[in-house]
Amino acid sequence: MFQRKLCRKNLHSLIKYPSSICSSAFYSFCSKPPNLNAIKLNGCFKSFGFLSSITGFYLNSHQLCVPKGPNFVGNPVVYPSFTRNYCSGRNGEGGPGEWTEEIEYLDESGSVIYSGKGIRSVEPGLDDHVMVGGLKKPFLNAVAVAKIVEVVKRWKWGPELETQLDKLQFVPNMTHITQALRVIKDSDMSLSLFRWAKRQLWYLPSDECYATLFDGLNQSKDFDGIQSLFDELVHDSSDNGISSFSAYNQVIQYLAKAEKLEVSFCCFKKILDSGCKIDIQTYNSLITLFLNKGLPYKAFEIYGSMEAAGCSLDGSTYELMIPSLAKSGRLDAAYKLFQEMKEKNFRPGFNIFSSLVDSMGKAGRLDTSIKVHMEMQGYGLRPSASMYVSLIESHVKAGKLDTALRLWDEMKKAGFRPNFGLYTLIVESHAKSGKLDIAMSAFTDMEKAGFLPTPSTYCCLLEMHAGSGQVDSAMKLYNSMTDAGLRPGLSTYTSLLSLLAKKKLVDVAAKILLEMPPWSVGKSM
């Protein structure tokens, strides 16, 4: 529909030369004040409808001044009948709220542009629609949200913002507020809008609204604001009995990720006390936080609550929880979670296998340790050198030397070089068990690898060879030891001298006696 706005100049031109439109009707109007509510808008009076429409407001919202006569001399006659009628039905001084007559909209030449009932204005805070003739046209949500966002972004905060929000030409609802908060995003402006909404009669606590606010506060890193708003949420939820599942869990997750340990745990306890359900992601974020902070027992406490609630861990939390349980000695719980993880088709990582192998081995549960080790290889994971060391040590200490030796050979085939401690362990354990050939083979490899055996290793081998009557091997070890600048202990001298005496090698025994330190000679005598 074509419309043009008339300025004051055009308005006076239209009144000054009424004959161009309908002079007789105009003079009749001016000579005798009519009943404006009964007038059928025809002729020149249609131009008033035209004027009221195209200027963007209705003339009946103001008093209309009309001259007394055609010569326009004297004081104007004021007709207060033109007053605004609202959609709500509230009347001004002009009459009823229903419009029954049609209005013709004219252009400047007097031609009809459009004929129909007018669009009435709305009253702020009361109307939720506009009237187009006899039809109610509701405000679209998108229009309402856009208007709220426009007002908030312009006035930002403070009394002026609240004044402008009070003047909105529609009654908002919580859907409008929540959608506006998503668009605004700025935490300060969002909170200002939310505080205003809370004071309105139509306000209802909304889980979605709170969740949107928490998201904005988290993005701005305002964790004090999150804590303060959380207290409001608890109060609102208890007073109105609403479910705040999303908002509650969101708060704990944000605080846990920010490593706010005490605050997040406090909020967690409040939610448990309120009887609200906690989701898996929230439990996992808290467990992860406490484990990363070196507080496994607190994490186990949360895990206990999680089990009681029937929730299960996710993949990343399994990766943290199982090693922590294993290292703390709770092997049954760790292994149970390990089995549960596989049943849920989560792929265990290397850290889980390594911790289980090490902990089970140290606890003497060697069968389980080997089983996990082999299962790890089934997943395509390659054991590390430290894992081999742990396995070999646990089997040696348990006296299972055959398995230890098999693992020893497997370790070398995998390309790992045994360390000094592992060489010493293999040599001494096999020597003490009487497996001197294996012990000497490992001892020779140890020397070739560049490791200097300790006196205890030499003495162990020497004494075991002396005890078995192997003079040549015993003397070879003795010479190797002295060449390295090491001296045997008293027990080793005693074992060697006893062997030489049994074999009647007096000259060799005398030579060794001369090489013995003075302090040891007296003791051996």
First and final C-alpha spacing in the chain: 130
Residue entry with tokens 């070196």 = 294
Mean pLDDT of 467-494: 81
Given this model, what pLDDT does residue 298 score? 83
Contact 263, 255 (CB under 8 A): yes
What percent of the chain has pLDDT above 90?
Answer: 10
- pLDDT tens digit sequence for 276-294: 788 888 888 888 888 888 8
Cβ burial, residue 467 (10 Å; 0-12/13-18/19+):
middle
The DSSP 8-state label assigned to residue 170 in this structure reads S
Given this model, what pLDDT does residue 122 score? 56
What confidence tier does 6 reach under pLDDT thresholds 50, 70, 90? very low
List helix spans (H) across 309-435. 315-327, 331-343, 350-362, 366-378, 385-397, 401-413, 420-432
The rounded mean pLDDT for the chain is 74
Does the structure show a pLDDT above 80 at 224?
yes
Sheet order of strands, 129-132 included:
119-120, 129-132, 135-138
Mean pLDDT of 192-201: 86
- pLDDT tens digit sequence for 346-376: 899 999 999 999 999 999 899 999 999 999 9
Domain residue ranges of the chain, discontinuous segments joined by +: 206-312, 454-516
What confidence tier does 8 reach under pLDDT thresholds 50, 70, 90? very low
Given this model, what pLDDT does residue 118 score? 58
Does the structure show a pLDDT above 70 at 13?
no
Q: Which residues contact 374 (CB under 8 A, 6 or more apart)?
A: none
Mean pLDDT of 207-221: 85
Q: What is the three-class DSSP state of 116?
A: strand
Does the structure show a pLDDT above 80 at 56?
no
Q: Which residues contact 208 (CB under 8 A, 6 or more apart)?
A: 178, 246
What confidence tier does 523 reach under pLDDT thresholds 50, 70, 90? very low
Q: How far, CA to CA in Å, does 494 sit from each of 164, 467, 475, 497, 509?
A: 104, 11, 13, 5, 11
DSSP E strands in 223-268: the ranges are none
Q: How far, CA to CA in Å, does 159 sit from each of 146, 156, 164, 172?
A: 21, 10, 9, 19
Superfamily of domain 206-312: Tetratricopeptide repeat domain (1.25.40.10)
Does the structure show a pLDDT above 50 at 80?
no
Mean pLDDT of 207-212: 84
Across 124-133, 433-442, 486-495, the highest mean pLDDT is recorded for 433-442
For 15-30, letters b (16+ CB in 10 Å) and e give: beebeebbeeebeebb
Given this model, what pLDDT does residue 371 score? 93
Contact 291, 320 (CB under 8 A): yes
Task: In whole angstroms, give the CA distance from residue 424 to residue 447.
Answer: 11
Given this model, what pLDDT does residue 406 score? 92
User: Angle 357-362-368 (CA atoms, 0-180°, nearest 5)?
Assistant: 45
Mean pLDDT of 162-191: 84
Task: In whole angstroms, give the CA distance from residue 432 to residue 427.
Answer: 9
Given this model, what pLDDT does residue 376 score? 92
Cβ burial, residue 502 (10 Å; 0-12/13-18/19+):
exposed
Given this model, what pLDDT does residue 407 score? 92
- Statement: the pTM of the whole predicted model exceeds 0.85: no
What confidence tier does 492 reach under pLDDT thresholds 50, 70, 90? confident
Contact 306, 339 (CB under 8 A): no
